[in-house]
Amino acid sequence: MRTAVRVTAAAVLTAVLAATTGCAAGPEPDAAAGAVAPASTAAPRATVTPSGPASASPAPVPAALSFTGKTLDGTAFDAAALAGRPVVLWFWAPWCATCASQAWTVAEIAPTYRDTVPIVGVAGLGEQKAMKSFVTEFDLGGTTQIDDRAGALWRRFKVAEQSTFVVLDRTGRVVHKGFLDGEALTRQVETLARG
């Protein structure tokens, strides 16, 4: 009898936990501007591409892409939509001269590789107005730029300085973290696109 009661109690507890964790995804309504929240990874999600609807076979979401946030223009962002593809995260600051020199390369190559190797900017260490001006000045409007003024992604990826590129392969494994000049960035993205 005790075994049956324990099994029933365990089943009820499991159902309650499953139901409550499904509601935990996404930022809290009162989250600070630029805050990034971890996303639930309980089940694989469909990949949403910039050019179309969900794919037929969803890719599992790696831990590295299990976060949500807001872009500089206020649009909701869910990194899980990038699952199954290599991704380049570019951590930049609006006052950084090195970031400015790299911005031209990002603006040039990002549209070409948008569907195969997305480049996502992670703006931090500055004010939103300056970040938006940087995006406009360097014609980065065609690339996703996450507002990370709170520094959540910078801490998550242990980025200590700008300009830093974190390159993830299709499985979400970090294959490069650090500085890349324009030529090295282009080579890295071309290699990932072929793989």
CB of 58 closer than 8 Å to CB of 44: yes
Question: How far apart (Å, rounded) are the C-alpha atoms in residues 54 and 80?
Answer: 12
Q: What number of other Cβ atoms are within 10 A of residue 5's Cβ? A: 9
Q: What number of other Cβ atoms are within 10 A of residue 76's Cβ? A: 10
Structure-block tokens of residue 139: 């014609």
The domain locations on the chain are 33-194
Instruction: Give the architecture-level CATH label for domain 33-194.
Output: 3-Layer(aba) Sandwich (3.40)
Between 13 and 118, the more confident residue is: 118
CB of 83 closer than 8 Å to CB of 47: yes
CB of 34 closer than 8 Å to CB of 148: yes
Nearest-CA neighbor of 157 among 46, 66, 47?
Answer: 66
pLDDT for 105-121, tens place per residue?
A: 999 999 999 999 999 99
pLDDT for 138-190, tens place per residue?
A: 999 889 999 999 999 999 999 999 999 999 999 999 999 999 999 999 999 99
pTM comes to: 0.72
Nearest-CA neighbor of 115 among 139, 136, 84, 89?
Answer: 84
Between 137 and 8, the more confident residue is: 137
User: Which pLDDT does position 195 carry in this prediction?
Assistant: 81
User: Which pLDDT does position 54 carry in this prediction?
Assistant: 44
